[in-house]
Amino acid sequence: MLRYCEVGYKVIGFDIDQNKVDLLKAGKSYIEHISSDSINTAINTGFQATTDFSRVNEADALILCVPTPLNKYREPDLSFVLDTTDSLVPYLREGQVVSLESTTYPGTTDEELLPRVQSGGLAVGQNIFLVFSPEREDPGNPNFTTRTIPKVCGGVTSACLEVGLALYGQVIDRVVPVSSTRAAELTKLLENIHRAVNIGLVNEMKIVADKMDIDIHEVIRAAATKPFGFVPYFPGPGLGGHCIPIDPFYLTWKAREYGVHTRFIELAGEVNSSMPDYVISKIASALNRIERAIKGSNVLVLGISYKKNVDDMRESPSVMLMEKLRDLGARVAYSDPHVPVFPKLREHKFDLSSVELTPETIATFDCVLLATDHDKFDFEMIKTHAKLIVDSRGRYLAPAAHIVKA
């Protein structure tokens, strides 16, 4: 949205959440890494936010960026995509291009969106155009912007692809065409499955290394000096965010339709899903060494967003760790400079605010769990004043008697 505003396009933002629309109208951002100044700049160039879907016919291009979660059975939940598409259909007109950016299984655009878009009599590839172009972003990474990250695009027809390339070529330095929407859909899944499988590998290696009394982070740093054939991935307390923990299961679900059992993907999912329990076991062992039980202990969780230097809480393993600790009887608090108050989440409830980190407050906790290693933390001060640190991110390189790697 901001990029299209930046180059001079008139942009309308649609959402069903009136609160978000009101914030945007007031020039306020609800996402930490997007500044309110950038929202105001967009408004000054014509950006409008609305819940009125009848204005869809004003747009020449419709870009769908909605959640694609899993249901409780780890099956794709396309309700957001399908409900949004159904909301657009009554207002579609000739000459528009519809682009789905939400991560999904191969075949979604062809099987689900195509018949809906054509349900009013429009012909895809002739007088309306349909493409899939997966979102690519890395929040908190200053080295890449929307403009500089190459954009993959696949069309239902060759004419659709041509229109899609023209749409994104206005704002992206490099648009990468692929032969079909299915190829584009699988491209995004491969990118995220690649990460999930490799993170699963290093998480398993972490357990092996720990049994051998070897620091896996030292090993990874040493291996990363090889100038070819090795890409460093780092273990953690589990997978978080809206992509890596979820997207692989979109492919495993669809692969079953073809009689394929995706063993690598599912094994990586099992390993990564077990990491919070592994961290809890390390906390229990560490507390046991100082003759404390988890029940009744005061535990401070450092960082509750899913990755460092952002405020995104989606699928955060830190929250799972907080729940597990609470269920075991610990008194749980957290500190996160990016999340001052624990937000309202569908599945997780904590009535907590971020604890200010001072030598005095840190010293009151029996255990400090480093769950997300934000750069804003004063790690040396924490190390000096904490009674016990369980480090699930490998932030502390030098061994210390009161630091336990997890």
Catalytic residues: 243
Nearest CA-CA partner of 234 in 257, 265, 209, 255: 209
Give dist(CA 100, CA 102) in Å, integer.
6
Where does residue 82 rank: exposed (0-12), middle (13-18), buried (19+ CB within 10 A)? Answer: middle
Neighbour count for residue 17 (Cβ, 10 Å): 10
Neighbour count for residue 223 (Cβ, 10 Å): 12
Give dist(CA 46, CA 4) in Å, integer.
11
What angle, rounded to 10 degrees, do the helices at 263-273 and 275-289 form? 30
CB neighbours of 349 closer than 8 A, spacing ≥ 6? none
Give dist(CA 396, CA 404) in Å, integer.
9
Give dist(CA 202, CA 235) in Å, integer.
6
CB neighbours of 366 closer than 8 A, spacing ≥ 6? 287, 290, 292, 297, 298, 299, 387, 388
**Which amino acid, one-letter code, is at 192?**
N
CA 278 from chain centre, in angstroms, equals: 22
Give dist(CA 373, CA 308) in Å, integer.
6
| Termini Cα distance of the chain | 40
Neighbour count for residue 329 (Cβ, 10 Å): 11
**Which amino acid, one-letter code, is at 291?**
E
Report phi then psi at 4, rounded to 5.
-65, -40
